[in-house]
């Protein structure tokens, strides 16, 4: 979605009064629904120094504050009748892998000099500082630099603004943030770049804190786990949505439907949505911290400050470009985006119409630059296929010289998207009289050059966005008043129906490009939610109705409506498992064929339509495109979604979900190759090959093995090879990292199917054998993997003996342990390792025993689990530091070795939680298939049960304990 170089182009006109900027919203127009980009929210939360009053360090270094802070933030918004909707990213589109890799390399390039700066200052301070130079130093010796505590600690603070200076939330003028108003300690506004570029508050890269470049995964895990739990416990106060793809699509739809801005720092939302509110608007030091002593739990109270967001509206951006809000969607195709370079077919359109001859002449240089972005523009361009695009296309476009005035003229010449849709629909129906769509025949001939670009236009805007933008065109332009704000305290049904409608449109847009079919589906779903689906505040998201919800459209649905022979009701239900209380696929029950639902099945073989039921019942499993984004429990959503999609392969009872088929098709086109970048963490060592992620290679290999095949390993491998990129540690001796240093870890899965299939069969049977709503099997599998991968290695200290033979043995031992736990037997066929493996099995059963009916686990059982997991944390042994003088005794900052240990703890626990995310994705498929009784709603089963006075943050006691461990391990 993101538009390349848009903000930089705007800054060239920053001195003009017409440049749109963020401004306070009128009191009667403040949003009552607040869509929040969770990715941006977390990044800003790590960097911000304004979460609470007198904050001195990033909250990532004091993780015990995260949960109480989030509770205070949710309550603060609730008291102002603001309903936050957090939306998390799913798997990124394959077309964005090049962009992701470029951003990762850029962050690495910024982090390394900042870590070296911290190391240099810390070593100077512990040695007494440069001021303790030799007494015999000559008069020409350089003047020693004084080292103070603030200069050392600033790397841990994050954003370097004083409380009196909030430039990221101010309008881009000098009125609110100037040299005169900023105190000496402010590191932002004293730079010349501040005066020449009011949109950015830049500082020197080498002096910027390294906290602004790291990805503190403990903040991500604790925050997502906490928000998931609160969304389950108090759905009237917040919602947490996991997207099948990137969060931008759902966020834009929510923004358009409710006519509210999105809380994010991305420029996408003042181009495609209703508007954008910067995340820093939420962090204004409005809370006071109390009770932060070691003996008492921390708490926050508000200072009485109101939520006053500053917003940049899309209508203001459209007025600046002298166009309509609906035409702004052409900007990614004019300037380029994360998905690729500008569309070269715009040149054909401009040059094919004589009335645009002057414009074509003025843009010839720009068009030539666009042509240079492709290998050969004479060949048909297939969207998303990298071989047709040159690697340096971004530099080519940035040097094209396109200015604002040319963009304005270009937008004026391009048609409205719905006019282009009309030409496309007319061509699809072979109805040549284009005047039916209100377009002259001469105009339609030039528009025909743009019709092939319509697919890229839809992809850049997001599924269903063009539909809602055309629907709300007048409201978005500000010519008509928007609908009355949704107050969740009084109009919960409207709020709930709006969220579900946006989820349905988003997923349907991934299934079909036909605007007519998408519009028909949107109307049918809206009618179902409004008229047929009943509403229960105690179970907000349950789809209770007398009839089945509408099915998702198919890619081959005829334009103008759904296929006439498509099923509109569910197929015959599978045999009930109420007698044994187990999921389909378990040892005690087997599905009778078909599926638990088929209302949105992707084929017409599900049977004849069924008559409507006589009374309402839960329909959540019949509409996974609505329920799954709200049901997921993965703490790293991309892995959960991928596991859910891949485990559907070979499952005859899985309900149809076309978006999963699209994902699997793209994965097959890539030959099962996946690439990922591990979070950047502060780390120091005397060896550049000793990463804090090294102890996690075995557990990460296991999670990718469980991600490789379909249900019970019968189909696959879907994932054949995974490469993870990471950043080597900074050397304590100051030497540069050698070019030959390994910076990636490869996981080759293609030749290990003989060991992976038995493991997956055992895992899926164990998960299916568990009782509905229980996570005992998942917890035991996760704990087994932790204990197995944490066994002492025969490698040298800090290294991992993890060759092909070690991977094969790990898979075999894991399969033996899961089977032994499943059948309640001792170890067999383990050879020389039988005694060690049986000790692991006994420990798992002792720590996670099968609960007696009606008896909750004891408190001492949770304490035992905590101790076992804490003992498995084996951080990289801190390398000996270079010789140092006596410490000054006044330095209060973590040493490089302490930072490395802190990062190692985060890396290890995060890898365990990533494995949980994969298991949760496979279990999610079983939850959506299970038919226990009509009252067995999956949202009820997803609520974590209270254990005495203890309220776990997850249905999985393992996850609740791991999050507790993360919260306890700070600096």
Q: What is the pLDDT of residue 502?
A: 92
**How much of the chain is helix, strand and coil, in % rounded to 5?**
50, 5, 45
Domain interval for residue 778: 634-796+804-876+895-932+952-969
Rounded mean pLDDT, 448-462: 74
CA–CA gap between residue 348 and residue 743 (Å, rounded): 44
Is pLDDT larger for residue 852 or for residue 78? 78
Q: What is the pLDDT of residue 159?
A: 66
CA–CA gap between residue 840 and residue 859 (Å, rounded): 22
At residue 678 the predicted structure's pLDDT band, cuts being 50, 70 and 90, is very high
Rounded mean pLDDT, 432-460: 59
Q: What is the pLDDT of residue 681?
A: 92
Residue 60: partners with Cβ closer than 8 Å, 6 or more residues away: 46, 211, 214, 216, 218, 219
Please choose, from the candidates 963, 925, 947, the residue with its C-alpha nearest in 3D space to the C-alpha of residue 760: 925
Most confident of 109-118, 292-301, 397-406, 501-510: 501-510
- Residue 61's φ and ψ, nearest 5 degrees, are -90, -10
Question: 826 in a domain, yes or no?
Answer: yes
Q: What is the pLDDT of residue 890?
A: 52
Question: 367 in a domain, yes or no?
Answer: no
CA–CA gap between residue 601 and residue 654 (Å, rounded): 9
Q: What is the pLDDT of residue 295?
A: 58
At residue 611 the predicted structure's pLDDT band, cuts being 50, 70 and 90, is very low
Q: What is the pLDDT of residue 223?
A: 94
Rounded mean pLDDT, 686-695: 83
The per-residue pLDDT for range 664-675, each reduced to its tens digit, is 888 888 888 888
Most confident of 145-154, 445-454, 872-881: 445-454
Q: What is the pLDDT of residue 39?
A: 92
List the structure tokens of 343.
Answer: 């569309």
The per-residue pLDDT for range 790-799, each reduced to its tens digit, is 876 544 444 4
List the structure tokens of 669.
Answer: 């086109």
Question: 791 in a domain, yes or no?
Answer: yes
Residue 866: half-sphere exposure toward Cβ, Cα within 13 Å: 14
Rounded mean pLDDT, 402-413: 85
CA–CA gap between residue 278 and residue 308 (Å, rounded): 11
Q: What is the pLDDT of residue 705?
A: 92
309, 339, 359 — which closes off a domain? 309
Question: 829 in a domain, yes or no?
Answer: yes
Q: State which H helix or E strand residue 684 sits in.
A: strand 684-685
The per-residue pLDDT for range 292-330, each reduced to its tens digit, is 665 567 888 887 788 888 888 888 888 888 888 888 888
Question: 105 in a domain, yes or no?
Answer: yes
Q: What is the pLDDT of residue 488?
A: 47
Question: 654 in a domain, yes or no?
Answer: yes
Query: Cis peptide leading into 875, omega within 30 of 0?
Result: no
Rounded alpha-carbon distances, angstroms, from residue 736 to 214, 248, 317, 685, 733: 19, 39, 46, 12, 9
The per-residue pLDDT for range 477-501, each reduced to its tens digit, is 654 434 454 444 457 888 899 999 9
b/e code 263-291 from CB counts within 10 Å (16+ = b) = bbbbbbbbbbbbbbbbbbbbbbbbbebee
For the cut 90, the answer to whether the pLDDT of residue 702 exceeds it is: yes
Neighbours of 775 (CB within 10 A): 25
For the cut 80, the answer to whether the pLDDT of residue 942 exceeds it is: no
For the cut 90, the answer to whether the pLDDT of residue 601 exceeds it is: no
Q: What is the DSSP string of 841-867?
A: HHHHHHHSPPPPTT-PPPHHHHHHHHH
309, 325, 352 — which closes off a domain? 309
The per-residue pLDDT for range 24-44, each reduced to its tens digit, is 776 666 668 999 999 999 998
At residue 555 the predicted structure's pLDDT band, cuts being 50, 70 and 90, is low
Residue 853: partners with Cβ closer than 8 Å, 6 or more residues away: none
- Residue 673's φ and ψ, nearest 5 degrees, are -95, 130
Residue 484: half-sphere exposure toward Cβ, Cα within 13 Å: 5
Rounded mean pLDDT, 113-139: 64
Coil, strand or helix at 875: coil
Looking at the 3D structure of the chain, how many domains does it have?
2
CA–CA gap between residue 616 and residue 543 (Å, rounded): 9
Instruction: Tell how strand 287-290 and strand 544-545 pair up.
Output: unpaired
Question: 665 in a domain, yes or no?
Answer: yes
pTM: 0.84
For the cut 80, the answer to whether the pLDDT of residue 195 exceeds it is: no
309, 344, 378 — which closes off a domain? 309
Rounded mean pLDDT, 388-405: 78
Across 447-451, 510-514, 719-723, 750-754, least confident range: 447-451
CA–CA gap between residue 300 and residue 579 (Å, rounded): 48
Average pLDDT, the chain: 74
The enclosing domain of 214 has a CATH number of: 3.40.50
Question: 215 in a domain, yes or no?
Answer: yes
Q: What is the pLDDT of residue 669?
A: 80
């Amino acid at each position: 979605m993101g538009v390349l170089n848009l903000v930089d182009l705007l800054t060239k006109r920053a001195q003009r009064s017409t440049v749109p900027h963020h401004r306070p919203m009128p009191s009667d127009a403040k949003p009552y629904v607040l869509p929040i980009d969770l990715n941006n929210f977390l990044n800003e939360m790590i960097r911000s120094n304004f979460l609470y009053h007198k904050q001195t360090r990033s909250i990532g270094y004091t993780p015990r504050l995260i949960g109480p802070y989030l509770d205070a933030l949710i309550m603060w918004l609730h008291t102002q009748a603001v309903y936050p909707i957090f939306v998390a990213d799913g798997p990124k589109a394959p077309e964005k892998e090049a962009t992701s890799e470029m951003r990762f390399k850029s962050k690495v390039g910024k982090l390394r000099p900042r870590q070296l700066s911290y190391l240099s200052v810390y070593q100077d301070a512990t040695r007494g500082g440069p001021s303790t130079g030799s007494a015999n130093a000559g008069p020409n010796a350089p003047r020693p630099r004084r080292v103070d505590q603030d200069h050392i600690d600033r790397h841990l603070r994050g954003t370097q603004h004083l409380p009196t200076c909030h430039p990221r939330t101010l309008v881009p003028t000098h009125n609110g943030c100037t040299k005169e108003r900023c105190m000496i300690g402010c590191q932002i506004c004293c730079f010349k770049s501040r005066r020449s570029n009011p949109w950015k508050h830049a500082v020197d890269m080498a002096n910027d804190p390294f906290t602004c470049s790291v990805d503190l995964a403990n903040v991500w895990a604790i925050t997502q786990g906490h928000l998931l739990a609160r969304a389950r416990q108090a759905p009237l106060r917040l919602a947490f949505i996991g997207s099948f793809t990137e969060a931008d699509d759902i966020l834009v739809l929510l923004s358009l439907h409710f006519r509210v801005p999105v809380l994010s720092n991305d420029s996408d939302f003042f181009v495609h949505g209703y508007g954008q509110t910067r995340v820093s608007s939420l962090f204004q030091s409005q809370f006071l911290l109390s009770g932060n002593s070691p003996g008492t739990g921390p708490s926050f109270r508000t200072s009485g400050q109101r939520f006053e967001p500053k917003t940049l509206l899309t209508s203001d951006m459209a007025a600046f470009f002298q166009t309509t809000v609906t035409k702004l969607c052409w900007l990614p195709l004019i300037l380029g985006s994360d998905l690729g370079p500008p569309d070269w077919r715009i040149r054909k359109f401009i040059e094919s119409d004589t009335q645009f001859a002057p414009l074509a002449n003025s843009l010839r240089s720009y068009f030539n630059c666009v042509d240079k972005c492709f290998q050969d523009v004479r060949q048909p361009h297939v969207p998303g296929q990298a071989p047709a695009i040159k690697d340096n296309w971004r530099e080519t476009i940035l040097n094209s010289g396109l200015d604002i005035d040319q963009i304005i003229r270009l937008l004026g010449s391009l048609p409205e998207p719905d006019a282009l849709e009309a030409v496309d629909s007319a061509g699809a129906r072979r109805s040549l009289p284009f005047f039916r769509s209100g377009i002259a025949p001469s105009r339609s001939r030039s528009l025909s050059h743009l019709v092939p670009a319509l697919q890229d236009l839809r992809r850049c805007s997001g599924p269903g966005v063009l539909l809602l933008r055309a629907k709300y065109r007048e409201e978005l332009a500000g010519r008509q008043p928007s609908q009355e704000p949704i107050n969740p305290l009084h109009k919960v049904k409207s709020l709930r129906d709006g969220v579900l409608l946006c989820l349905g449109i988003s997923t349907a847009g991934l299934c079909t490009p036909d605007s007519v079919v998408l519009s028909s589906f949107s109307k049918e779903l809206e009618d179902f939610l409004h008229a047929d689906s009943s509403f229960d505040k105690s179970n907000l998201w349950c789809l209770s109705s007398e009839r089945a919800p509408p099915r998702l459209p198919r890619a081959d649905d005829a334009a103008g409506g759904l296929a006439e022979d498509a099923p509109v009701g569910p197929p015959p239900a599978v045999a009930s498992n109420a007698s044994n209380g187990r999921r389909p696929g378990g040892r005690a029950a087997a599905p009778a064929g078909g599926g638990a639902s088929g209302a949105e099945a992707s084929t017409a073989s599900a049977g004849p339509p069924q008559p409507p039921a006589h009374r309402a019942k839960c329909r959540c499993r019949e509409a996974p495109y609505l329920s799954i984004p709200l049901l997921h429990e993965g703490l790293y959503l991309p892995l959960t979604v991928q596991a859910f999609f891949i485990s559907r392969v070979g499952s005859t009872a899985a309900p149809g979900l076309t978006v999963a088929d699209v994902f699997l098709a793209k994965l097959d086109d890539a030959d099962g190759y996946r690439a990922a970048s591990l979070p950047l963490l502060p780390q120091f060592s005397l060896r550049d090959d000793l990463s804090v992620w090294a102890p996690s290679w075995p557990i990460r290999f296991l999670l990718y093995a469980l991600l490789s095949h379909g249900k019970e390993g019968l189909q696959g491998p879907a994932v054949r090879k995974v490469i993870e990129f990471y950043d080597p540690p900074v050397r304590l001796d100051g030497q540069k990292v050698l070019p030959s240093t390994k910076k990636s870890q490869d996981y080759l899965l293609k030749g290990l199917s003989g060991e992976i299939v038995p493991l997956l069969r055992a895992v899926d049977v164990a998960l299916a054998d568990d009782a509905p709503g229980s996570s005992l099997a998942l917890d035991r599998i996760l704990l087994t993997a932790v204990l197995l991968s944490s066994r002492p290695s025969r490698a040298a200290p800090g290294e991992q003996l993890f060759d092909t033979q070690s991977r094969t043995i790990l898979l075999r031992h894991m399969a033996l342990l899961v089977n032994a736990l499943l059948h309640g037997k001792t170890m067999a066929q383990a050879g020389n390792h039988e005694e060690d493996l049986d000790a692991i099995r006994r420990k798992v059963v002792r720590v996670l025993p099968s609960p007696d009916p009606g008896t909750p686990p004891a408190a001492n059982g949770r304490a035992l689990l905590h101790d076992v997991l804490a003992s498995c944390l084996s951080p990289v042994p801190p390398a000996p530091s270079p010789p140092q003088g006596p410490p000054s005794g006044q330095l209060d900052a973590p040493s490089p070795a302490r930072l490395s240990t802190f990062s190692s703890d985060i890396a290890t626990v995060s890898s365990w939680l990533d494995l949980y995310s994969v298991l949760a994705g496979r279990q999610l498929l079983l939850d959506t298939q299970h038919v226990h009784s009509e009252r067995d709603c999956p949202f009820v089963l997803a609520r974590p049960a209270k254990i005495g006075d203890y309220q776990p943050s997850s249905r999985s006691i393992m996850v609740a304990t791991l999050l507790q461990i993360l919260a306890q391990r700070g600096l």
